[in-house]
Amino acid sequence: MNDVATWTEGVEIIEGWRCVGCGRVEASRPCIGICQDRRARLIELDHLVAALERAEACEARLSVLMDFVRLVSATRPKLGGEQATLAALRSRAQAVLAGAPTQAPFCNQATRA
């Protein structure tokens, strides 16, 4: 989540007006006499917030899954205890999956509005 938080610190929010008919966008600012119009790509703040929330949810889910992968990679069953180890790992995997949505729409789809 720190990556998302760090990234959002550099986001500039500009208050402006959008025409509901044609989509024209205006954001008045005081002119200092050296203005030049340049094309800019804009996004609705609500859409950005929704995308950041999905990114944070994905990062949290990834953290849980990485913890489980580390556990599996570090697990060495005792001689004769392979079945018990496998059963314990399966149980932990089911617990991890129980915390996951059946389909994770926030992690596997790009959302565009």
Q: Which residues pair with 25 in a beta bridge?
A: 18
9-62, pLDDT tens digit by residue?
Answer: 777 777 888 888 887 888 777 777 777 777 778 888 888 888 888 888 888 889
89-106, pLDDT tens digit by residue?
Answer: 999 999 888 886 644 444
pLDDT band at 3 (very low <50, low <70, confident <90, very high): low
Q: Which has more pLDDT, 77 or 25? A: 77
Query: How many angstroms separate the Cα of 69 from the Cα of each of 62, 90, 103?
Result: 10, 12, 20
pTM: 0.59
**Distance (Å, whole) CA 52 – CA 29:** 28
97's CB contacts (< 8 A; 6+ apart) are none
